[in-house]
Amino acid sequence: MMGRLIVVSNRVPSDGPPSGGLVVALHDCLKHNGGVWFGTSGDIVEDPEDSFAELSGDGYKMRTFDLSPAEQQGYYLGYANSVLWPLCHRRADLMALNAGDYDVYDSVNRRLARMMAPELRPDDHIWIHDYHFLPLAACLRAEGVTATIGYFHHIPFPATHDLMALPQRDLFAGWMASFDLFGLQTQRDVAAALEMFRGLNGAEQLRDGSISLNDRRFEIRSFPIGIDADAFVKEAQSTDGRSLLNFAPDERLVIGVDRLDYSKGLDNRFRAFGRFLENRIVDEPRASLLQIAPPTREDVDAYQQIRDALEGTAGKVNGEHSDLGWTPIRYIHHAVPRDTLAALYRAADVGFVTPFCDGMNLVAKEFVAAQDPADPGVLILSQFAGAVEQMASALIVNPYDIGEMAQALKQALAMPLHERQDRHEALARGVFRNDVAHWTQTYLDTMARISTERAALT
C-alpha cells in the first residue's frame, strides 16, 4: 500500500479564488487524495522561525513557513522568477543574474529540507512542484531522506543552448538526478531534457528509458496536466455570461485570460486584434476582445514593462477603432471569480490563447470544457503552448505572426456550425478524458511503480 502523499509547492492556497494553474491543480489533487501540503505562507517577516505553522485545508493538512524580506527578494523574485522563469521560457536575455540571489535560493531550499526531514517517513511519496524547488531533492537526500521523491516541472524545460547561460548549469543535472521521477508537461520537453543528458559526461540512458548519473538512477517522463473538467462545466452553466457584459445582441466575443506575463504573448495578441479590426468589413457584426489579465510578480521589472507596453497597445487600438457606443478591447487588470470566468468562456465565440512559450496552458482546456456542445466557440491556440500536443483540432497559430493571427480570428468568427462542432467534439474528448484526476493518478501510479521497483532491488 502506498504511504502518505506529501506535496510541496511554493504557495499553499490563500483566501480568495485560486488563480494560478498550479494552485488550482494541486488543491484539486489533495482534495481528492488527502495528505500534507508544504509551502510558503505568503507572510514576509523580519526573522522567520525554522518551524511550520499548521493549517487545515479542504480535506488535507497544510504546513506553511514564512520568508524573510531578503529571502522573498533573492529566492522568489530573484533566482526563481528573474532567472529560472525567463530561462525556461526561452528568454535568457531577460535573466537578471544578481550576485547572491542563487545563494539565497539554495539556502531556502536547504532550510526547508532541514525542517521537513524530521517529519518524513521512508514510505512517503513526496511530490515537489516547480522551479522554486529544483534543488530540494538533493537537499533532502543530504538530510538522509530515502523516501521516493517526484518532481513536476509546470513550465517548459529550458533549451540546452539557453542552459549554458545559467551560472549553475553544472548543478542542474545533479538536482534532477536526486529525484526518482522528473515529470514534464510534453514530449517536446522530454526530448529537450534528454538532449541535455546526451551531452553530459557520466550520464547514460538505460534500456528501460531511465537515466543513470553517478550513483543515481531516475526517470524523465511527460504527464500533460489537465483540469477538473466536470466541475468547470457546472461553473460555466451557473450564470449567463452575456448578461454580465454590456454587449449589443449581435456583438461577437473573443476572450483571453492570462496572468500578465511576457511569456503569454499579450501585446502581439492585441496587435493581431487591431489588424483584424483594420481588415473588417464595416457591416459585419462587431467583435470585441475581452482580456482578463490579473497582475503577477509586479515587483519584477520585466513585468512592469509588459504592463506599460500592453496598456499602450490597447489604448492605440481602442483610439483607432472605438466609437461612441463601442470599445473593442476591454482589458481587465484584476482577477475575477472562477465561476464568472467559466461563464464568460461559455459566452465567448472565440478563445484566443497565444503564448510565445507555455508549459501547458490550462486556459485552453478550460475554454473547451466551458462550451455549449450544441453551439461551441472556437479555440485559437499558439503552436508554442504545451497544450498543442493534445489539441490539434484547434486553429493553430504562430504568435509571432500578427497577420496569421488576424486571419485566424476572421476564420474562427466565420466558421460554420458543423465545423465548430466537429472541432469541439475532438477537443472536448481529450479535455474530459485527460483531466486533472487522470494526471494526478498517472503521476502517482508511476511514483508507486518506481518505489515498488526500488524496494525490490534492496
Shortest distance, position 228 Cβ to ligand GDG, whole Å: 10
Q: Which residues are at the interface with ligand GDG (CB under 6 A)?
A: 17, 19-22, 24-25, 154-155, 225, 257, 259, 292, 294, 335-338, 341, 358-363, 366
DSSP string of 116-141, one letter each residue:
HGGG--TT-EEEEESGGGTTHHHHHH
Residues facing 382 on adjacent strands: 397
Cα 285 to Cα 70, 277, 282, 407, 414: the distances in Å are 54, 11, 8, 16, 11
Phi-psi region at 33: left, alpha or beta (left = phi > 0; alpha = psi -120 to 50):
alpha
Where does residue 214 rank: exposed (0-12), middle (13-18), buried (19+ CB within 10 A)?
Answer: exposed
Between 39 and 48, name the residue whose CB sits nearer to ligand GDG: 39
Host H or E run for residue 287 = strand 287-292
Distance CA 445, CA 106 (A): 30
Residues facing 378 on adjacent strands: 350
Shortest distance, position 53 Cβ to ligand GDG, whole Å: 25
Between 104 and 300, name the residue whose CB sits nearer to ligand GDG: 300
Between 3 and 18, name the residue whose CB sits nearer to ligand GDG: 18
Between 8 and 360, name the residue whose CB sits nearer to ligand GDG: 360
Q: Are 110 and 180 spatial neighbours (Cβ–Cβ below 8 Å)?
A: no
Shortest distance, position 413 Cβ to ligand GDG, whole Å: 23
Residues acting as catalytic residues: 154, 358
Which residue minimizes CB distance to ligand GDG? Answer: 21
Shortest distance, position 338 Cβ to ligand GDG, whole Å: 4
Helix axis angle for 362-370 and 338-347, nearest 10°, is: 70
Cα 313 to Cα 120, 212, 270, 391: the distances in Å are 51, 50, 7, 29
